[in-house]
Structure 1
Amino acid sequence: MVANCLNCSSEVEEVWSWRGLFYREPQFLCQECESQLEKIEGELCRGCSRSLEALPSNLVKEDICLDCHRWDQDPEWKGVLHKNDSLYHYNDFLKEYLARYKYRGDYALAQAFSHSIKSYLAKMEYDHIIPIPLSDERLYERGFNQSTALLEESEVRPSHILTRLHSEKQSKKTRAERLRQEQVFQLAECDVKGKSILLFDDIYTTGTTLRQAAKLLKDAGADEVSSLTLARG
């Protein structure tokens, strides 16, 4: 059966391997489009997966980036989010791809990352994996939660124990405004005491959204809260 690339619609050439003789993962992107996804590798910030090799030395504090260092210096936020892992660099290709996915309602585009997400999660231990929720208003606008869809396409059953109040988009706020804003998440009646929680979102930018969710969970008794994101901005 001939498949077409989810991004450019060209025919996807099947790549054969020894593993493929016994178990074959479906290909959703052609080789050219697949090659434009940049996996995050090399020397990374232990806090947020940012590439330290690409940063000037004045933006690095030992083995963490300056942003994570600032979070650690704030007693309100220190240790709230144990760490963030990200799979890909948020380059121009992925930015355009995710824009089509999130804002033009092309739900099927989530399939391209199913194998990567599934493989990564197989190496992690957690009690609950929680997609960062959208407010009801934002969910109505988009028609689906992009983070939930990414997990579901990866055959992962998420825990929907967080809800979100409607607020202005984070991208329109300065870092100071994000830090000052009131808690935008609410926790459903669920006992998270002593639990290991993994938050999941599509993009890590400043880390504010993830830390707000993590703080709510930590205050409710969660033992540790980490996060996994598809991309690191």
Structure 2
Amino acid sequence: MGNHCLYCESTIKETITWKGLFRSDPQYLCGECQKGLQPIEGQRCLHCSRSLEKLSDELKIDEVCRDCFRWEENPNWQGILLQNTSLFEYNDFLKEYLARYKYRGDHTLAKTFGTPLAKHLKPLQFDHIIPIPLSEERHYERGFNQSVCLLEEAGITASHLLARSHSEKQSKKSRQERLQQKQVFTLTDKNLAGQSILLFDDIYTTGTTLRLSAKLLKAAGAERVTSLTLARG
């Protein structure tokens, strides 16, 4: 009896290869659903991982998208978040996949990303990896923090150095509202002198949430703050 796809529940047909006889990564999606996960390839924005090849010329400046150019032009935000890396395109498939994962409580869907996250994180060096927290109210509502579960699937122990006050769901806010958001985070450890911090979240949209977090971390003495997200929205 074969395994079943976590997403569509069809039977996963196993292809046996010489490599597969010795060791193979677990398969959680069928071939068709796996095609829906599209790694970001080609030239990316140096700051946020956005695909530059899919952007029109007026939305990019050299090797940076216009959004990141504006962030870095602003003295309040310049250098706060050194770089974001995203693994997958936020296409229709992944949008629906993550919605089902986050909002409908299907947290077993996190298993799909354990191996790619673990492989990406293995060569990286950092003092702390911090998942973006949910407010207590949002955590109670969902029953789990989607970013923490993703890291657990990758075998990574997270540092919970940030707390979040309650606010309206990010998905309900317009782009302009997100960009103008006030500080919603607090630090549980205010002595991060000289440390390298990696923030982790499921989606990079405007970059506001990650930068608000990074600003606190930098103020606490962190030398370097970068971020990793599953998807670039």
Task: Give CA deviations for 1:119-161 in whole Å, capped at 9, x if unaligned.
Answer: 0001211110010000000001100000000000111111111
TM-score by length of 2: 0.96
The 8 Å contact of residues 214 and 225 in structure 2, kept in 1 or not, is answered as yes
Q: Indicate the residue corresponding to 1:32 in structure 2.
A: 32
The 8 Å contact of residues 190 and 220 in structure 2, kept in 1 or not, is answered as no
Q: By how many angstroms is 1:49 displaced? A: 0.4
Task: Give CA deviations for 1:87-123 in whole Å, capped at 9, x if unaligned.
Answer: 0000000111111100000010000111110100012
Q: Indicate the residue corresponding to 1:149 in structure 2.
A: 149
Gaps of 5+ in 2: none
Q: Partner of 1:227: helix, strand, or coil? A: strand
The 8 Å contact of residues 179 and 206 in structure 2, kept in 1 or not, is answered as no
Task: Give CA deviations for 1:164-218 in whole Å, capped at 9, x if unaligned.
Answer: 0101223333444334432111111353111110000000000000000000000
Q: Indicate the residue corresponding to 2:206 in structure 1.
A: 206
Evaluate the alpha carbon distance shift between residue 29 and residue 215 of structure 1 in structure 2; reply closer, same or farther with a 3 A threshold. Answer: same
Deviates more, 1:11-20 or 1:154-163: 11-20
Give the whole-Å Cα distance in 1 for the aligned partners of 2:18 and 2:118. Answer: 20
Give the whole-Å Cα distance in 2 for the aligned partners of 1:47 and 1:220. Answer: 22
Q: Indicate the residue corresponding to 2:160 in structure 1.
A: 160
Q: By how many angstroms is 1:20 displaced? A: 2.4
Please give the root-mean-square deviation of Cα atoms over the aligned residues, in Å: 1.3
Give the whole-Å Cα distance in 2 for the aligned partners of 1:191 and 1:2. Answer: 51
Deviates more, 1:61-70 or 1:188-197: 188-197
Give the whole-Å Cα distance in 2 for the aligned partners of 1:62 and 1:189. Answer: 38
Q: Indicate the residue corresponding to 1:196 in structure 2.
A: 196
The 8 Å contact of residues 47 and 68 in structure 2, kept in 1 or not, is answered as yes
Give the whole-Å Cα distance in 1 for the aligned partners of 2:191 and 2:142. Answer: 30
Give the whole-Å Cα distance in 1 for the aligned partners of 2:188 and 2:224. Answer: 18
Does residue 83 (structure 1) correspond to residue 83 (structure 2)? The answer is yes
The 8 Å contact of residues 130 and 160 in structure 2, kept in 1 or not, is answered as yes
Task: Give CA deviations for 1:29-57 in whole Å, capped at 9, x if unaligned.
Answer: 00111011110010100000000011110
Gaps of 5+ in 1: none
Q: Indicate the residue corresponding to 2:93 in structure 1.
A: 93
Give the whole-Å Cα distance in 2 for the aligned partners of 1:30 and 1:179. Answer: 38
Does residue 62 (structure 1) correspond to residue 48 (structure 2)? The answer is no
